[in-house]
Chain A
Amino acid sequence: MSNLAVLPIIIPLIAGILLAFTNTNVRLSRALTQILTVVNLGVVSFIAWKVFQDGTIVLETGDWIAPYGIVLVADSLAITLVLTTNIIATAAVFYAPHSLSIEKEKHYFYPFYFFLITGVSGAFLTGDLFNLFVFYEVLLMASYALIVLGGNKVQLRESIKYVLINLFSSVLFVTAIAFLYGVVGTVNMAQIAERVQEVEQFGILTTIAILLFFVFGTKAALFPLYYWMPKSYIVPNPVISALFGALLTKVGIYSILRVFSLIFVHKIDLTHETFIWIAGLTMIFGVIGALSTNNIKLIIAYNIIPAIGFIMMGIGTFNQAGLSGSVYYLVHDMIIKTALFLLVGVIAYVAGTSDLRKMGGLIHHYPVLGWLLFISAFVLAGIPPFSGFIGKLLLLKGALQGDHIFIVIIALLSSLLILYSVMKIFIRGFWGEENPLVEKRTTKGFIAPIVFLLLFSIFIGIGAEFIYPAIDSVAVYLLDPEIYIDSVLKE
């Protein structure tokens, strides 16, 4: 039964390959994509149920025993995130046909979409540091293709910077792995974790830790490495932006969470203390960015950054409340960011512009859109009883337990500003005078995926009683690296 762990990777991969053959037949592609995505969601839900029931599933690929071969580890953290990924992917795939032009769909949107899901699921599931790099490249390669889909001037201009910065950080990743291999002589994460505890020279390990943190920080868009992110995330089609915003940066932050809870826990007072400072700065600068612009897509793209800051804060505090807050917030943020990106995509589509100064009075014709945005803003900012509230409550509890008062103040303040930055879209876009020149467009088909995501988001807020125990068990699990090491190396 251990082959179960590879299914979330292999199903999208095969789906992507199959859809590469049917690219000229758009209707067939759509139907196949929707069916396969739902099938994948079902399979992943089953695996998630099994993992939470029976414990971690470990697959040693090619029948090579654990520290020598590549292992896939479907533990509770990984499978939670893979499940969330698939929920987002399902919503995005039902939104895509309405948002993309036929031309773009024919130009291999669906295959690359599936390769992106393959890469993301693989990055969550792998138990091998070098394999993590490989899956990073799979998802980045798909994202390079998706970001230029359509190939207009601005897309090409922004994508070359996006490719370069990611390429640079990938090479640094390889270099960091080379250093780590030189010191501990393995790339299997469980074995690295085991050997790191035995190595005497902590200096070199801390250096490698910082180098890896730099790499993941670039991918996750942490302060001060977020500069490449907002502008490149808004150039592609909204559905692609939503996938990027929800998945790519989150893979980076997941890697930090995994590596700095499993491997580099030898010098918590240095690394994790720094994380809290970085988290605070990330929140402040992200919010300033979101407030500084009138482009609605850019507002949402900037809002990714403070969310990363919140998750980072939980990793920095490194206690049970903080870590469960991080995981909770990670799941919450993946879902709500997708919803917001999709929503803003529709708003820009019906308003004919993404500039707030040219908008107004949308509520007359599109009341549903308006109220959806209103609710999303509340969910995002963490107004009780929505999901953001539970996550933030846990994070703040963790920070207070660790006596980090200043970060609590920054977090609360930036939550308020996040609410303002999204409300600005509501106030300026939906209130006021209508622009008579803009023709009325139908929002049919756009709404259902967004409502699906919002309902899910509200469920993990109101239904926290069901979800919190699972998330809490993940946090307990993260605090004890021995469980992971034992389940992989079977000692």
Chain B
Amino acid sequence: MEFIVIVLAGILFATAIYNLLQKQMLRIIIGTVLLSHGAHLMILTMGKLKRGKPPILEEGVANYTDPLPQALILTSIVISFGITSLLLVLAYRTAKTNNTDNMEQLRGETNE
């Protein structure tokens, strides 16, 4: 099971990098979303996937799943949710004021 998930994380990373290297801004944002999904799957697999009951104290259960990766992922998901939404607003405003969503055209020398 871990093996399949880790391969999946790898595929997510690869598609993310492909999308990040595109010129269109929306594709780049999708790339970042996929990238963070890949990283979250990474964390999840690093704590072993399923080795017991949910990590909530109950009577008669001795084997619990590692709760730490789940806590880490939750934090990380919240953060990437915040950044993605911010990035969407930012990209929208940028595309609107600069009249383009092509990264090739979003450069210039003047900084005034």
Q: Are A and B direct contacts in the complex by CB distance below 8 Å?
A: yes
Which of B47, B76, B94, B110 touches A181 (beta carbons < 8 Å)? B47
Residues of B within 8 A of A164 (CB): 20, 28, 32, 87
Which of A133, A148, A177 touches B90 (beta carbons < 8 Å)? A148
Count B-side interface residues using an 8 Å CB cutoff: 37
Of chain B, the residue at the smallest CB distance from A166 is: B83
Contact B72 A156 (CB under 8 A): no
Contact B86 A144 (CB under 8 A): yes
- Residues 283-323 of chain A: 1 if any B CB is under 8 Å from the residue's CB, otherwise 0? 00000000000010110000000000000000000000000
Of chain B, the residue at the smallest CB distance from A148 is: B90
Q: How far is the CA of A154 from the CA of B75 in the complex (A)?
A: 33
Of chain A, the residue at the smallest CB distance from B17 is: A168
Interface residues of B in 58-108 (CB under 8 A from A): 68-69, 72, 75-76, 79-80, 82-83, 86-87, 90-91, 93-94, 97-98, 106-108
Interface SS majority for chain B? helix
- Residues 128-147 of chain A: 1 if any B CB is under 8 Å from the residue's CB, otherwise 0? 00100110010001001100
Contact A154 B46 (CB under 8 A): no
Number of A-B residue pairs with CB-CB distance less than 8 Å in the complex they form: 104
Q: Does B39 contact A (CB under 8 A)?
A: yes
Question: B81 to chain A: closest CB distance in Å?
Answer: 11
Contact A171 B36 (CB under 8 A): yes
Residues of B within 8 A of A175 (CB): 38-39, 42
Contact B98 A171 (CB under 8 A): no
Of chain A, the residue at the smallest CB distance from B28 is: A164
Residues of B near any A CB (own CB < 8 A): 20, 25, 28, 32, 35-36, 38-40, 42-43, 45-47, 68-69, 72, 75-76, 79-80, 82-83, 86-87, 90-91, 93-94, 97-98, 106-108, 110-112
Besides A137-B82, A353-B112, 13 other A-B contacts (C-beta < 8 A): A141-B86, A154-B112, A163-B87, A167-B83, A171-B39, A171-B80, A174-B39, A174-B42, A175-B42, A178-B39, A178-B42, A178-B43, A187-B72
In the A-B complex, list the 8 residue pairs whose CB atoms are closest, starting with the nearest.
A182-B46, A156-B94, A178-B42, A178-B43, A174-B39, A178-B46, A137-B79, A171-B35
